[in-house]
A = this chain, B = another copy of it.
Amino acid sequence: MKKSLGAKIIVGATPVWIVGTYDAAGKPNIMTAAWAGVCCSEPPCVAVSLRKATYSYGSIIQRKAFTVNVPSAQYLREADYAGIASGKDIDKFAKMKFTPVKGEFVDAPYIQEFPLVIECKLLHTIEIGLHTQFIGEIMDVKAEEEILGDKQLPLQEKINQFVFSPGTRTYYNVGEFLEKAFSAGKEFGK
Chain A residues with CB under 8 Å of chain B are 1-15, 34-47, 49, 51, 68, 70, 73, 76-85, 95-96, 104, 112, 116-118, 123-124, 126, 128-131, 133, 135, 137-145, 148-149, 151-156, 159, 161-189
With A70-B12, A171-B179 already in contact, the answer to whether A166 and B38 are too (CB < 8 A) is yes
Q: Indicate how many identical chains form the complex.
A: 2
* A-B pairs with lowest CB-CB distance, top 10: A175-B175, A37-B37, A80-B185, A81-B185, A42-B130, A40-B128, A40-B131, A2-B142, A156-B165, A80-B184
Q: Which of A6, A83, A149 has the most CB of B within 10 A?
A: A6
Q: Which of A130, A148, A188 has the most CB of B within 10 A?
A: A188
With A42-B129, A184-B171 already in contact, the answer to whether A145 and B37 are too (CB < 8 A) is no
CB of A170 within 8 A of CB of B177, answer yes
Q: Enumerate chain B residues within 8 angstroms of A3, measured Cβ to Cβ.
A: 142-145, 148, 152
CB of B184 within 8 A of CB of A13, answer no
Q: Enumerate chain B residues within 8 angstroms of A183, measured Cβ to Cβ.
A: 80
What are 19 sample pairs from A and B whose C-beta atoms fall under 8 A apart? A2-B117, A2-B145, A3-B148, A8-B44, A8-B138, A34-B38, A35-B41, A39-B49, A39-B131, A40-B49, A43-B129, A45-B129, A76-B184, A77-B184, A80-B179, A154-B167, A156-B172, A169-B182, A175-B175
